[in-house]
Amino acid sequence: MEYNRITLAVITKLQAIVGEKYVWTDEEKRIPYGRDEGTFTVPLLPDVVVLPETAEELAAVVALANEAVIPVIPRGTGTGLEGGALVDGRGGILVSTERMNRILEINEEAMYMVVEAGVITETIQKEAGKRGLLYAGDPCSGDSCCIGGNGATNAGGNRAVKYGTTRDQIYALEVVTPTGKIAQLGKRLHKMTAGYPLEKIVVGSEGTLGIITQLTIKLVPLPKATAHVLAVFPSAEQALSLVTALPKAGITPTCLEFMDYDVIEVVGAWLDEKQNCPKGGAYMIIQLDSQSDDGLDDDCVAIDDICHTLGAVEVFMADAEKVWKARKAFTEASAADCPVAAMEDFVVPPDKLLPFMTELKSVGEATGVLFRGVSHAGDGNIHLDLLRKGFTDEADECRRIAAFEDKACEAAYRLGGAISGEHGIGQARKALFEKYTDPVELELMKALKRAWDPKGILNPGKIFD
């Protein structure tokens, strides 16, 4: 696709739409919008940052860009990791939803909330909580990410095993289309067979099919009871067998997190807390919630049984704060121990986690790349930090990291998995995504994108070219 660059005439029109105050061309003001939380080293600067206040303003901006054939890059709070909310070198108009941050309706009786895209996820969680309700979406960056971005990336997080990802929390969307129209997609219904459920594909489309401006999200009653169980296993293999054993026993934890011995050691050193794990062993953190105290007790008894049967050396009700402090310390502890060259987000069917981890070990050995990782084991999602260690120079690092990623990706897809569980493809992963996706499926995706966005102006160069 060929794009035009921003002209003064376009800037003037943008100012007319959103007001002069909200069209930023100063480099200083654009710099923060040239980064996300990924491992990009050089800021990718948009030509202009625009901050609309309403869907109508945003639609007018997109219509203008469509007419002028200029890329539009939608951005929430920039907590992504794969460059999905950054320009890709071809410049363009970065549209931030940060001013669209109102909660429009909270219906306690019918348990839903209508929010603008820029509302911080934690704000939603807290407002729901005050009313005895739960918004079940819970990405790790909840205190800084926004709900529109959660929708655009189909964010996962800490309750996905039981409650699903962001797609599962959404009833309906207001979306600005690539041609600058406002569409109402989805309805607050429990079932419907009336045309194509387009809201389901806009969610997770990383801003390539539409810009989410408003969301109607599901709420559920706050669980009456919660429990955190820590099971210590003598080996990773034994720990991972829990991943299929729990669902098979009819137990659905809110999350099931795996930490191997290496990670436990690094985290222990970072927190200066002795960890109680035999050498070569592993932790499994099992979080549960329920509307029934009795039901939860039944589950905990069953879990204790199952873990011991699978060889656990210790199973105990853990202090929630302590156990999550350890789990969440991983990113910082790992980076403090050794700089991180790349972060991975593979996902495989949960029963394939163990064979996938075995393959990863071989891939690491074959490519000479050191890594460590934690996994949202309950949903088969592994986050790896590839360590900046043992490379001769930058070119060597690039080459060997690329080789690792390619081989690991091949293994993930061969086992029925994918390159990303929750971070998305953005611009950083698209080559591997295109290489390993079913070619017929990929062509259907591209045909859809072309049909909705014939000039390719909406977030170009993301997911695929």
Nearer to a second copy, 46 or 151 (CB): 151
352 secondary structure, DSSP code: G
Nearer to a second copy, 118 or 350 (CB): 350
Nearer to a second copy, 205 or 275 (CB): 205
Nearer to a second copy, 270 or 464 (CB): 464
* Choice from 372, 383, 407, 423 touching a second copy (CB under 8 A): 423
Q: Which amino acid is at 329?
A: A
Side by side, the strands of the sheet bearing 225-233 are 314-317, 225-233, 282-290, 255-260, 371-376, 381-387, 340-347
Could you give the string, one character per residue 139-178, with x where binding to a second copy holds by CB under 8 A and - elsewhere?
--------------xxxx---xx--xx-x---------x-
* Residue 81 interacts with a second copy (CB under 8 A): yes or no: no
330 secondary structure, DSSP code: H
CA 386/CA 405 separation, integer angstroms:
10
Q: What are phi and psi of 380, to 5 degrees?
A: 70, 20
- Find out whether 275 and 264 touch, Cβ atoms under 8 Å: yes
CB of 25 to a second copy, least distance (A): 31
* Residue 297 interacts with a second copy (CB under 8 A): yes or no: yes
Give the range of 41-49, 307-315, 322-330, 373-381 binding a second copy by CB under 8 A: 373-381
Q: What DSSP element (H or E) covers 305?
A: helix 293-309
* Residue 224 interacts with a second copy (CB under 8 A): yes or no: yes
Could you give the string, one character per residue 21-60, with x where binding to a second copy holds by CB under 8 A and - elsewhere?
----------------------------------------
Q: Which of residues 103-132 bind a second copy (CB under 8 A)?
A: 109-111
* Residue 433 interacts with a second copy (CB under 8 A): yes or no: yes
CA 157/CA 229 separation, integer angstroms:
18
Give the range of 1-9, 189-197, 258-266, 312-320 binding a second copy by CB under 8 A: 189-197
* Choice from 23, 326, 425, 428 touching a second copy (CB under 8 A): 425
Give the range of 7-15, 50-58, 220-228, 398-406 binding a second copy by CB under 8 A: 220-228
* Residue 435 interacts with a second copy (CB under 8 A): yes or no: no
* Residue 424 interacts with a second copy (CB under 8 A): yes or no: yes
Size of the site for a second copy (CB under 8 A): 89
Determine the 3-state secondary structure of 374 from DSSP.
Answer: strand
Give the range of 297-305, 318-326, 356-364, 390-398 binding a second copy by CB under 8 A: 297-305
* Residue 269 interacts with a second copy (CB under 8 A): yes or no: no
CA 62/CA 207 separation, integer angstroms:
12
Nearer to a second copy, 113 or 387 (CB): 113
* Residue 213 interacts with a second copy (CB under 8 A): yes or no: no
* Choice from 299, 344, 397, 405 touching a second copy (CB under 8 A): 299
Nearer to a second copy, 2 or 196 (CB): 196
Nearer to a second copy, 51 or 133 (CB): 133
* Residue 182 interacts with a second copy (CB under 8 A): yes or no: yes
CA 117/CA 325 separation, integer angstroms:
30
Nearer to a second copy, 162 or 389 (CB): 162
Measured in Å, how far apart are the chain's first and last C-alpha atoms? Answer: 9
* Residue 418 interacts with a second copy (CB under 8 A): yes or no: yes
* Residue 80 interacts with a second copy (CB under 8 A): yes or no: no
If 0-12 CB within 10 Å is exposed, 13-18 middle and 19+ buried, where does residue 25 land? middle
CA 147/CA 150 separation, integer angstroms:
5
* Residue 459 interacts with a second copy (CB under 8 A): yes or no: no
- Find out whether 464 and 446 touch, Cβ atoms under 8 Å: yes
The total of other beta-carbon atoms located within 10 Å of residue 449's CB is: 19
Could you give the string, one character per residue 327-366, with x where binding to a second copy holds by CB under 8 A and - elsewhere?
--------------------xxxxx---------------
Q: What are phi and psi of 370, to 5 degrees?
A: -90, 145
Residue 413 makes CB contacts below 8 A (sequence gap 6+) with 419, 436
Q: What is the DSSP string of 20-81?
A: GGGEE--HHHHGGGG--SSS--S----SEEE--SSHHHHHHHHHHHHHHT--EEEESSS--S
Q: Which of residues 374-413 bind a second copy (CB under 8 A)?
A: 376, 378-381
* Residue 244 interacts with a second copy (CB under 8 A): yes or no: yes
CA atoms within 13 A on the CB side of 313: 13
